[in-house]
Amino acid sequence: MTEFLMNHMMVKVRGVDKIFKRGSEVIHVLGGLDLSIPKGEFLALMGPSGSGKSTLLNLIGGLDRPSEGTLEIGGKRIDRLSERKLAAWRARHVGLVFQFYNLMPVLSAQKNVELPLLLTKLSRAERKKRAAIALDIVGLSHRAGHYPRQLSGGEQQRTGIARAIVTDPTLLLCDEPTGDLDRKSGDEILDLLQALNKEQGKTIIMVTHDIHAAARASRTLYLNKGQLSTEAVD
Amino acid sequence: MFNWVSQIFAVTSFSMRSLPQRKGSSAAAMLGIAGVVAVMVGVLSIAQGVLKTMESSVGDSNAIVLRSGADSEMMSGLSGDDTRIIAEAPGIARDANGAVASPELFVIVNLPARSTGTDVNVPLRGVQAPAMTVRDSFKLVEGRMFEWGLNEVIVGVGAHQQFSGLEIGSSMEVGKEKWPVVGVFEAGGGMAESEIWVDAAVLQPAFRRGNSYQAVYIKLDSNESFDEFKDTLTSDPRLNVKPMLESEYYDSQSSVIFNMITGLGRIIAVIMGLGAVFGALNTMYTAVSSRNREIATLRALGFRAGPVVISVVCESLLLAFVGGLIGAGLAWLAFDGYRAATLNWASFSAITFAFDVNVKLLVDGIVFAMIIGLLGGLFPAIRAARQPVAQALRGL
């Protein structure tokens, strides 16, 4: 890889191991994994269940720590940050999109989107304004006052994406974002992610089981038994 | 700091707003705590009622003289000569009839309790005219005063309510005689209201006491006169007596029963409280479990563990506070002012009192509820906060 590309890497994963212990059993989920993702890339991660896709996504998003190896995101080593600093870093740099949306049922779409902004010093008016812009980007301005139970699955996921982009993060991590949606809604979500990638330059990593979803990404990697490859392994 | 506070506010606000989704388990925990507080406040209000009765017995600048070594009137004995010497001591208030000193005789009679029908030791006090002057709050509220020299009695309002056969017009049996009840009196809520009064000169022969008494109640010029009064009596070679301020005397009289009831009440409260803590723990573990998705998501978004702990504890404290309020309210409605009688362990006679659910007890009850809530919320909160974010998200 050229020096130019290396300097423009959003994600650098080097020699990452991840071991889980379940009683006396030791499970090696990732073994000596290396991965580089340039800024502005839309990467799809595929692989069978238990292959470590979500674990890798969690490590890149600072939700978990590697057993070995280093993680550099946007030029910052995050594998040695304290829990507190990691939480602050996540709030500022990472947008998370979950398979089951994970919206707060007691909050309206607008308030759900405002949630990450509570961790900033923005005024209430500014928070409201930014949440409205994020909802506008995902095409949900007209549903801002609705609660999650009043929204369809696709609308809930779009609210989840608005929440993920409201802080203008450098990295968007999506864990099976279409996994709970029908084809039509799933396509709309993928359109939205593609637009965020192409028009706003967001770096996106998407874990998916769906080959059609992966086809929307600019690159697809396959994870099997803790190892990455560019081709699916049967 | 701003960030921390705003996180606490936000997370706690979600927690509170999602309470209606857990109304069943929340109501169960609240009612459990309410029951504990109601019982605790109820039992302790007995002790407070007894204490209040004792305190109400204390007159301004009043003293009591017993035989040296006696801890109560029951164990005391003074001759008629002793009482005359005592009445001549300096420091005693005087009125038109002379020294305000009341020699009194104290015996016990058996009367059936209205509530159970079982015999109870009821104090029967032989008095002289100064007894009403020494007790400022003495007031005849029904019927008339007994005639001096006749075997008529007047009864305190507490005795009148709690024991059978003390209605005006009825008679109580003393030995083989019948002593008519002619009046009912109040004494400011003090112990005298548990008693039956009769002319001391009538009581002495009826109980073969000769010319003896058990105590002299004194009204002093002022509390400052007590030292001189006491020194005079204790240095008089003709006397072997123990003068005390009434406040000291009733303190010693109430300590046994007060400590016993309070101790019992606290033991009951702690045992029940342990049960309530488990109830609260169960509720909060369930609450945390049902909010796992929210908590994990908030932490994934960058909210810290501290606000999560505080929000869970706040929810538990809120439930406990409401439970405590309900329990304290129930105790107040059910017990405050309820009249009953119990045994005064110092005199082995009955003392009538009203359950006293006072502000201090209500506050104690609510504080106890909050302690239950704190213990019940803390461990689930710590578990929620300690769970790694990725693991919590996987467990959704």
ipTM of the complex: 0.91
**In the Cβ-directed half-sphere of B19, how many Cα atoms lie within 13 Å?**
19
Q: What is the mean pLDDT of chain B?
A: 87
Residue of B nearest to A121 (CA): B3
Q: What pLDDT does B284 receive?
A: 79
Q: Do B6 and A63 touch (CB under 8 A)?
A: no
**Mean of the pLDDT values across residues B167-184?**
89
**Mean of the pLDDT values across residues B252-260?**
80
A152: its two tokens: 């369809």
Return the bridge partners of B367, or none: none
**Cα distances (Å, whole numbers) of residue B282 to B212, B311, B377:** 66, 17, 9
Q: What pLDDT does A79 receive?
A: 92
Percent over 70 (pLDDT), chain B:
97
Percent over 90 (pLDDT), chain B:
39
**Cα distances (Å, whole numbers) of residue B94 to B88, B125, B133, B335:** 10, 23, 10, 42
The boundaries of the domain holding residue A217 are 38-65+83-229
Phi/psi of residue A61, each to 5°? -85, 5
Contact A122/B at CB under 8 A: no
Domain annotation covers residue A217: yes
Give the three-class secondary structure for B284.
helix
CA distance B194 to B122: 8
Judged by average pLDDT, the poorest of A210-224, B160-174, B256-270, B361-375 is: B256-270
User: Quick one: which H or E segment has residue B180?
Assistant: strand B177-187
Q: What is the pairing mode between strands A203-207 and A171-175?
A: parallel
Q: In B, which residues are within 8 Å of A90 by CB distance?
A: 300-302
CA distance B57 to B187: 8
Q: Which of A100, A102, A104 sits opposite B14 (nearest CB)?
A: A104
CA distance B156 to B142: 10
Q: What pLDDT does A3 receive?
A: 53
Instruction: Express each pLDDT in B278-321 by its tens digit.
Output: 877 887 787 777 777 788 899 999 988 888 888 888 888 998 99
The candidate with the shortest Cα–Cα distance to B104, out of B23, B197, B41, is B197
DSSP of B105-118, one letter per residue?
A: EEEEEEEEBTTT--
Q: Do B17 and A106 touch (CB under 8 A)?
A: yes
Q: Do A54 and B394 touch (CB under 8 A)?
A: yes
Instruction: Express each pLDDT in B61-117 by its tens digit.
Output: 889 999 999 988 888 999 999 999 999 999 999 888 888 999 999 998 988 888 888
Contact A21/B at CB under 8 A: no
Q: What pLDDT does A165 receive?
A: 94
CA distance B26 to B229: 63
Q: What is the pairing mode between strands A203-207 and A42-46?
A: parallel
Please, which residues have CB within 8 angstroms of residue A4's CB and are 6 or more apart in sequence? none
Residue B24 reports pLDDT greater than 60: yes
Q: Do A104 and B299 touch (CB under 8 A)?
A: no
Instruction: Express each pLDDT in A8-33 by its tens digit.
Output: 789 999 999 999 888 888 888 898 89
Judged by average pLDDT, the poorest of A165-174, B71-80, B99-108, B342-351 is: B342-351
Instruction: Express each pLDDT in B216-245 by its tens digit.
Output: 999 998 888 899 999 999 999 999 999 999
Residue B252 reports pLDDT greater than 70: yes
Please, which residues have CB within 8 angstroms of residue B146's CB and are 6 or more apart in sequence? B152, B153, B154, B182, B183, B197, B198, B199
Q: What pLDDT does B98 receive?
A: 87
Q: What is the largest CA-CA distance in chain B?
A: 93
Please, which residues have CB within 8 angstroms of residue B204's CB and are 6 or more apart in sequence? B105, B126, B210, B211, B212
Question: Whats the size of chain A, residue-wise?
Answer: 234
Residue of A nearest to B20 (CA): A106
Q: What pLDDT does B347 receive?
A: 66
Q: Which of A64, A65, A101, A147 to mutate to test the interface with B (most CBs of B within 10 A)?
A: A64
Residue A234 reports pLDDT greater than 60: no
Residue of B nearest to A64 (CA): B390
Domain annotation covers residue A138: yes
**Mean of the pLDDT values across residues A40-48?**
94
First to last CA, chain A: 28
A204: its two tokens: 């996106």
Q: At what angle do helices B23-57 and B246-290 cross, to 10 degrees?
A: 180
Q: How far is CA B231 from the centre of its chain?
A: 34
Residue B395 reports pLDDT greater than 70: no
How many other C-beta atoms can be found within 10 angstroms of the C-beta atom of residue A28? 14
Residue of A nearest to B15 (CA): A106
Interface of A with B in 82-121 (CB under 8 A): 83-84, 87-88, 90-92, 96, 98, 100, 102, 104-107, 115-116, 118-119, 121
DSSP conformation class of A134: H
Residue A5 reports pLDDT greater than 60: no
Question: Within chain A, how many helices (H) and strands (E) appear?
Answer: 8, 10
Please, which residues have CB within 8 angstroms of residue A6's CB and are 6 or more apart in sequence? A36
Question: Whats the size of chain B, residue-wise?
Answer: 396
Judged by average pLDDT, the poorest of A197-211, B110-124, B319-333 is: B110-124
Please, which residues have CB within 8 angstroms of residue A43's CB and are 6 or more apart in sequence? A37, A204, A205, A206, A217, A218, A219, A220, A221
Instruction: Express each pLDDT in A81-103 by its tens digit.
Output: 998 899 999 999 999 999 999 99
Instruction: Express each pLDDT in A118-152 by its tens digit.
Output: 888 889 899 999 999 999 999 999 999 999 999 99
Please, which residues have CB within 8 angstroms of residue A129's CB and are 6 or more apart in sequence? none
How many folded domains does chain A comprise? 1
List the CATH number of the domain containing A209.
3.40.50.300
Residue A4 reports pLDDT greater than 60: no
The alpha-helical segments, DSSP class H, found in chain B are 2-17, 23-57, 80-87, 130-134, 157-162, 200-206, 226-234, 246-290, 292-301, 305-335, 359-386, 389-394
Domain layout of chain B by residue ranges: 2-55+254-393, 69-239
Instruction: Express each pLDDT in B113-152 by its tens digit.
Output: 888 888 888 999 999 999 998 988 899 999 999 999 999 9
